[in-house]
Amino acid sequence: MNDISQLVQTACTWEVLSRKVGNVHPHADFTNTTLADFLLSAIAIGPSFRYAHRDHVGQTVLSAVEATKAFVGQNTNLGICLAIAPLAAVRDGEPLNTGVQSVLDELTVNDAELVYRAIRLAAPGGLGDAPEQDVHDAPTVTLLEAMTLAANRDAIAHQYANGYADIFDFGVPALMEAFEKFGRIEPAVIECQLRWLAEFPDSLIARKKDIFAAEDVRQRASHVFALGGLHTQNGRRAGVEFDRYLRSDRNALNPGTTADLVTACVFVALREEMLSVSEKFPWDVLDWL
């Protein structure tokens, strides 16, 4: 199955249907954002990614954000679009881990301008102002250069700057190790999210709150693993408490950037045929979210 649009839609759908801590899932909506919004958004962006291998990355991102706005009227997936667009642009048959660097190296100032338009349209929470190449101004550097400037404050920009090393060296192996253990997509996605949270402070939390809150969340995720993670009753109980904590401040502690990066990991696994769309999905445990 090599229809990029369907792989993107599948990755987005699997991510939001998985009962991840602090995020929207089938048993937990946010006040103004629901599971239906994310599922409709997954449908909406499919056509924008169909020809990602021939379109400019900036055009793919802007088209996807415009489609999402038309479908659900709000930002549900800017981070996903930014994270996946360079990966989707890699030509068929070329390994993603090497091909994506070629895509990044070919990004232009026009790509930056289109992405800036997409960011302004999506108006993500906690955006603020940047000291250089602010999205409210016209860019004068390529998209890769702009992302490199933002890499210290945004985890998705950091992927552009480091050639997606965190995705390929950490996230995808974490996802696949979990899938080997559980044999199901949902627990693999959940464990990938928890491992990512335990390793890297979530940059959306850092923007909306501060870096200390993000570091506190990282330490709490590490505690879940110290108790056995998803594999033990104590670990799952700690995960449920962790989820309650993340939802305690009107979702200001929503680890949204981590969710975007996990979606990118799922897309890579699908695109590289490590996973297929026919894999078993649900996790039938009674003591999880």
Lowest mean pLDDT among 1-5, 196-200, 219-223: 1-5
Sign of the Cα torsion 74, 78, 84, 86 reads positive
Tell me what the mean pLDDT of segment 73-94 comes to. Answer: 96
For residue 226, give the DSSP letter: H
Answer for the pair 110, 56: CB distance below 8 angstroms, yes or no: yes
Q: What is the pLDDT of residue 127?
A: 55
For the chain, percent helix, then strand, then coil, each to nearest 5? 65, 0, 35
Q: What is the pLDDT of residue 136?
A: 85
Whose CA is closest to 211, among 281, 126, 271, 268?
A: 126
Tell me what the mean pLDDT of segment 138-151 comes to. Answer: 96
Cα–Cα distance for residue pair 155/147, rounded to 1 Å: 10
Answer for the pair 186, 18: CB distance below 8 angstroms, yes or no: yes
CB atoms within 10 A of CB 203: 27
Q: Does residue 22 have a pLDDT over 70? A: yes
Q: What is the dihedral of CA 263, 238, 249, 75, to 10 degrees?
A: 10
Q: Does residue 1 have a pLDDT over 90? A: no
Task: List the structure tokens of 157.
Answer: 């920009």
**How sure is the predictor about 13, in pLDDT bands with cuts at 50, 70 and 90?**
very high
255 φ/ψ angles, rounded to the nearest 5 degrees: -80, 70
Task: List the structure tokens of 128.
Answer: 């603020």
Which residues is 25 bridged to in the sheet?
Answer: 28
Could you give the percent of the chain with pLDDT greater than 90?
Answer: 91
Tell me what the mean pLDDT of segment 249-256 comes to. Answer: 92
The DSSP code sequence of 152-219 is: TT-HHHHHHHTTTHHIIIIIHHHHHHHHHHH-SHHHHHHHHHHHHHHHS--HHHHHHS-HHHHHHHHH
Task: List the structure tokens of 79.
Answer: 């981070």
Q: What is the pLDDT of residue 251?
A: 85
Structural domains in the chain plus CATH codes: 4-271 (1.10.4200.10)
Q: Does residue 70 have a pLDDT over 90? A: yes
CB atoms within 10 A of CB 118: 26
Q: What is the pLDDT of residue 76?
A: 96
Q: What is the pLDDT of residue 249?
A: 86
Tell me what the mean pLDDT of segment 128-146 comes to. Answer: 81
Q: Does residue 67 have a pLDDT over 70? A: yes
The one-letter code for the residue type at 200 is: F
Helical spans, DSSP H, in the chain: 4-17, 35-49, 57-72, 78-88, 96-105, 109-122, 143-150, 155-161, 165-166, 172-182, 185-199, 203-208, 211-226, 233-246, 256-271
**3-class DSSP assignment, residue 28:** strand
